[in-house]
Amino acid sequence: MKRGLPLSNFFLPAATLWQRELVRFWRQKSRVLGVVASPLVFWLLIGYGSDDLARFYSGALVLTVMFSAIFSTISIIEDRREGFLLSMLVSPAPRTSLVLGKILGSATLAWLQGLIFLCFAPLAGVRIGILELVPVAAVIFLVSFTLTGLGFVIAWKMESTAGFHAIMNLLLVPMWMVSGSLFPMKTAHGWVRAIMWINPLTYSISLLNHVLSLPNAAPGATASLVVTALFGLVLLLASGLMAAQKSTRSAA
């Protein structure tokens, strides 16, 4: 049998999965509305209500990205029982390449929706020049990547989507609430502040506030970047290890 280069055996499956996510998304454009609309409404209500749109902007943007990441990774559960993931599991493509393709694809979607949300930045008084757009877009991609990785790690071992919803309500949404999205770390009560310290999302929000020159950019820029990047890397490795595991329990 004719076989491609080992390199293409890794990148081709990853690329095809990435592309699949984008094509599916393009064909279900109404998903954009679902993901962007609710954070936008939350943001406008809280922002105008408290007369401080700037303060809640980064949080709302991260929520958009988080919703998108959750929707994309939740599909893993169904897709593995009945869907395209089944044939991936019995294909010779390395599991790590499948994981990379799936996470990059979902992260790209989250990123695109984050960019759509970025169009509302002027309402928060944020002016972004062409040159600033590059670091801003890069940071939004990094945050998209970490949240998708988080979604993947949760979804991979899940038997049902109901379980994912429970985790979303008990872990992901509270995690977002104590990330500086709603109140800054410096005014938070003692134990909440401690949670904020160890919450990786705090660093994502802070990183966004830094690049968008918004208030409440704490911890510092370098710390925020390093923690967010490390979090993403750890999640990617964890996803790869989980997916590559052999088991006497069925993979689907």
Partner 1 sequence: MIQVQNLTHRYGARIALSNINFEVKSGEIFGLLGPNGGGKSTLFRILSTMMMPTEGTATIAGSDVVRDPAAVRRAIGVVFQTQSLDKALTVEENLRAQGHLHGLSGATLAERMAYAMERLGLSDRRRDLVDTLSGGLRRRVEIAKALLHRPRVLLMDEASTGLDPAARRDLSRHVESLRQQEGVTILLTTHILEEAGRCDRLILLHQGKIVAQGSPAELRSRIGGDVVILEAEDTETLAAGIWERFRLRPTTLEGRVRVEIENGHRFLAEVVEAFPGAIQSVALHKPTLEDVFVHETGAAIE
Q: For binding to partner 1 (CB under 8 A), which residues are involved?
A: 1-4, 8-9, 12-13, 15-17, 19-20, 23-24, 27-28, 81-84, 86-93, 246-252
Which residue's CB is nearer to partner 1, number 88 or number 208?
88
The CA-CA-CA angle for residues 19, 23, 27, to 5°, reads 170
Segment (H or E) for 188: none
In whole angstroms, what separates CA 44 from the centre of its chain? 22
Minimum distance of partner 1 from residue 125's CB (angstroms): 39
Which residue's CB is nearer to partner 1, number 21 or number 54?
21
Minimum distance of partner 1 from residue 28's CB (angstroms): 7
Which residue's CB is nearer to partner 1, number 22 or number 134?
22
Which residue's CB is nearer to partner 1, number 81 or number 186?
81
Which residue's CB is nearer to partner 1, number 79 or number 132?
79
The CA-CA-CA angle for residues 76, 150, 54, to 5°, reads 120
Which residue's CB is nearer to partner 1, number 101 or number 114?
101
8 A C-beta contact, residue 106 and residue 72 = yes
Minimum distance of partner 1 from residue 153's CB (angstroms): 21
Q: Which residues of 178-194 are buried (b: 16+ CB within 10 A; e: fewer)?
A: bbbbebbbeebeeeeee
In whole angstroms, what separates CA 3 from the centre of its chain? 35
**What spatial distance separates the first Cα and last Cα of the chain, rounded to whole Å?**
29
Minimum distance of partner 1 from residue 5's CB (angstroms): 9
Minimum distance of partner 1 from residue 89's CB (angstroms): 6
Contacts of residue 151, defined as CB under 8 A and 6 or more positions apart, other chains included, come to 69, 70, 72, 73, 74, 106
Minimum distance of partner 1 from residue 216's CB (angstroms): 40
